[in-house]
A and B are shown apart, each in its own frame.
Chain A
């Protein structure tokens, strides 16, 4: 008799399952230049026969904020998770996730995903230029590639610093520039950051920063 009860309770457990139906777990957005943030809404419905509790909503980074108005949902009740993504310091294609844990017996963990394409009107490779102490005096280069959909202008031709000289050369009109950096003396450690003022579609944009340094190879960060 006890054995039959055990089997019966197991059967009951499997038929009284709790389940959430999500409308759209993947969403995407194409952002404009200097757009600070974007919001997404993930809607769901409890299609099971028992209450479901959302136990955890965990975004994959500090840049994403997720909010749920309440945690427990009755059968047939709908709800939503509001998500806000801070785009301010980012460029390029951004893929972020929100991990949702619940008492859903079929899918106790669901990963909500969104992709945001943030425009990158230009790219500088590399942004860090360095020499080591005593290295032969030479020129090093960064390549600046412009996305043709934008009108990008750099308000810099050349500049001199204590141990460095920099010059911007246009390689292919409105598409590729070369930033030539020359160390004029590598006998002393030195570091500077150079901000290049930029106009995008005739509006001032955040300047591009290049870091230039003469490094001492003997300097070492401590080991654990």
Chain B
């Protein structure tokens, strides 16, 4: 009888702990993704991007850029678009692939900047799937 009670209480505690952890996972904004999100149009993953030897464009804020960025990446964000655009244009050789990134998979800035770059006249512009987070996760 005592053993049955212990098993019941243990199972109940386990269920409570499971429910609480599921609730926490649901509300935690920094939760890890359980599944890999599919590549969107114009997106490229890190492995493919590295093969292209691209011109890297960092679309995060200047503050984030100065705290760390992909080596040789150039900053280009909406805040300083007019000043940074000619620098990128000058660094680009006209044929090189361009890969734009922002902080993570959830950020939208890289897609906006990539669209604006295409409209400005750049060719072969891609967005890095997973952004800066994927660079760091791959131990770079």
Contact = CB atoms under 8 A, between A and B. Distances in A.
B86 interface: yes
B120 A217 contact: no
Interface stretch (A127-135, A146-154, A155-163, A171-179): A127-135
B72 A224 contact: yes
Given A89-B81, A126-B120, A211 B95 contact: no
Contact of B121 (A89, A90, A130, A191): A130
A179 B45 CA distance: 37
Contacts of B37: none
Interface residues of B, number: 38
Given A127-B121, A128-B120, A89 B89 contact: no
B96 A221 contact: yes
Q: Which size class do A's interface residues fall under?
A: 35 or more
Interface string A99-122: 001000000110000000000000
Contact of B56 (A126, A220, A224): A224
A125 B117 CA distance: 11
Interface string B68-112: 001111100111111001100111111110000000000001000
Contacts of B62: 62
B53 A129 contact: no
B94 A130 contact: yes
Interface string A180-210: 0000000000010100000000000000010
A63 B78 contact: yes
A101 B29 CA distance: 10
Given A63-B79, A211-B89, A221 B55 contact: yes
Nearest to B9: A3
A74 interface: no
Contacts of B72: 221-224
Given A215-B93, A215-B94, A221-B91, A128 B121 contact: yes
B90 A213 contact: yes
Pairs of residues from A and B, 7 with the lowest C-beta to C-beta distance, nearest first = A126-B121, A128-B121, A224-B71, A215-B94, A62-B61, A219-B93, A223-B53
28 contacts: A61-B61, A61-B77, A61-B79, A62-B61, A63-B79, A89-B80, A89-B82, A109-B27, A109-B29, A125-B121, A126-B120, A127-B85, A130-B89, A130-B121, A132-B95, A193-B86, A209-B82, A211-B85, A211-B89, A213-B89, A213-B90, A220-B93, A220-B96, A221-B91, A221-B93, A224-B56, A224-B70, A224-B140
Given A127-B120, A211-B89, A224-B73, 7 more contacts: A125-B119, A125-B121, A215-B94, A220-B53, A221-B93, A222-B72, A224-B71
